[in-house]
Amino acid sequence: MSETTTSAEVCVVGAGPVGGTLACRLAEAGVPVAVVDRAPLPPMEHPDFDGRAYAIAAGSRLLLEAAGLWTRLPDPPCPIERIRVSDGRIGRPASPLFLQFDTAEAGALPDSSAFGWMVEARSLRRALNAHLHALPGVSVHAPAAAAVVRGRDGATVAIAGGPRIDCRLVIAAEGRESPLRRAAGIPVTRLPYRQTGIVCAVAHARPHDNTALEHFLPAGPFAQLPMAPSDVADHVSAIVWTERSDLAARLLALDDAAFGREIARRLGPHLGALRPIGRRWRYPLGALHAHRYWAERLALVGDAAHAIHPIAGQGLNLGLRDAAALAALVIEAVRSGDDPGGEALLARYQRMRRPDNLLMLAATDALDRLFSTDHKLLRAARDLGIAAVNRAPGLKRLFMRQAMGLPLREGNVPR
């Protein structure tokens, strides 16, 4: 270890979308921050299209703007202006009972031009890497291994072969298997699903009209999410596909033509002929929730604190809401001369975020169990429920607020 000692108010361990955005937000507000990640973070790179994309809710976009990242995106995001929810079986037409959300119905909802935006993963990564290196208030250490020692009065992050960083708060943003969470002795509850998430992209003949589809099938939800034209094709959509783990392995081993036919069987013919593009990604699915979001001089954000089923596409957005809440508390504390790593602040952060995250975990778990079945009575009940919500403006408005990442209540319950 180098003898050099530097200081920062906050050290963020993990420079993924949540940790990197949080670091940029703090630095934009004048809070000195250090970022440590095991992977290299070159300032700019130009990877090939790989099929991955993030659904950024309208509420999360506000954080990306405040962090200086939205205007740095090198590729244009695609707005999601409509969301259609349907139920069905593989190779058969969808149920005639469906639920559709349209921004035209959002009325006075803030920024009702879109429910959210699809952002290519490589686009956000390039924006993050460039901005982290450009901000004067950020010191980046990557690739780097670090040893963290936390105490009553502060924390020290020792970079292997590099400096020692003295700070007042360490933020764990390293993902589901967070070493910092484990070292702090914070237990977690896990909910395993015997499902695998398949993520890829397709080029298709017809335009998607900025419409997202969530199609419930017996093995799990199948989502088609609109993407902007790319250097690969003019009409592109992301696919997030939940499948039984045993079948997922066989599907991923198919050649492109056969794999495309399996996607078409689930998606239906409305987008015309399609073909897979980019890579295929496989993710074992399971939910996770930390029993506490903080320990002495330590805060957990994103997947280090919670992970949910992708059925509602809200996993990253929950992490970005964590980042927005914690950043606001830290910025306020630093500006007022208070301790940004004190117990009172960290306990307040947990009170702000835990109910929202637990509610979403319970909702996505229940939805997966309700919809990932071919039981006739359950199918009939959920189809009627979908149709009932479609005819209830108040409920639709509430669900639209949730999809946009906005508070479910704003004064009174939305009418």
DSSP state letters, 34-95: EEE-SS---S---PPP-S-EEEEEHHHHHHHHHTT-GGG-SS--EEE-EEEEEE--TTSPPP
Other Cβ atoms within 10 Å of 304 Cβ, number = 32
What is the mean predicted confidence (pLDDT) over 284-302? 97
Residue 183, judged by CB atoms within 10 A of its CB (0-12, 13-18, 19+), counts as middle
CA distance 33 to 215: 42
Residue 135, pLDDT above cutoff 60? yes
- Interval 2-25: pLDDT, tens: 569 999 999 999 999 999 999 999
Residue 119, judged by CB atoms within 10 A of its CB (0-12, 13-18, 19+), counts as buried
What is the mean predicted confidence (pLDDT) over 185-190? 98
Confidence of residue 59 (pLDDT cuts 50, 70, 90): confident
What is the mean predicted confidence (pLDDT) over 339-357? 97
Confidence of residue 27 (pLDDT cuts 50, 70, 90): very high
CA distance 137 to 130: 14
Residue 112, pLDDT above cutoff 60? no
CA distance 169 to 47: 34
Give percent helix, percent strand, percent coil of the chain, each to the nearest 5: 35, 30, 35
Contact 347, 402 (CB under 8 A): no
What is the mean predicted confidence (pLDDT) over 138-160? 96
Q: Range with the lowest mean pLDDT among 87-91, 180-184, 296-300?
A: 87-91
Q: Which of 81-90, 145-154, 217-226 has the highest mean pLDDT?
A: 145-154
What is the mean predicted confidence (pLDDT) over 195-214? 96
Residue 227, pLDDT above cutoff 70? yes
Contact 86, 266 (CB under 8 A): no
- The whole-number pLDDT of residue 413 equals 29
Q: What are the structural domains, with CATH classification, of the chain? A: 5-48+62-71+120-189+288-372 (3.50.50.60), 76-118+192-286 (3.30.9.10)
- Interval 30-47: pLDDT, tens: 999 999 999 998 876 667
What sign does the CA torsion over 52, 57, 58, 64 have?
Answer: negative
Retrieve residue 314's tokens. 């809200």
Residue 353, pLDDT above cutoff 60? yes
